[in-house]
Amino acid sequence: MKDISQIKHESISPNSERVVRATFSLPSSTIIEIDKLRKKLAKDGHVLNKSEIVRVGLVALEHLSSRSAMKAIGEIERLKAGRPHFIEED
């Protein structure tokens, strides 16, 4: 397994790939963890937005062995697909 700092990233020019807006749901605890990670990385001089944090996570997941990836997948909460249903109170 490679250390995340050893992974080489190919530079992609902004015009070479179309950006698609995606909407998905995350638990509030995950948003808090993303914000903590952003602050931690910013202290080290790496200012990233939420989208970049998610994409870095994908790169890291791609470099894990199947066993390590399955272990990480087992640690997340499975969410129901679709929009959350809100109950109106009278």
Instruction: Determine the angle formed by the axes of helices 28-43 and 50-62, rounding to 10 degrees.
Output: 90
More confident position, 78 or 4: 78
Note whether 59 and 9 are within 8 A (CB).
yes
Model confidence pLDDT, tens digit, residues 49-72: 999 999 999 999 999 999 999 999
Pairwise CA distance, residues 56 & 63, whole Å: 11
Model confidence pLDDT, tens digit, residues 3-27: 555 545 555 555 678 889 988 888 8
Q: Given the structure tokens 């909460």, which residue do they identify?
A: 77
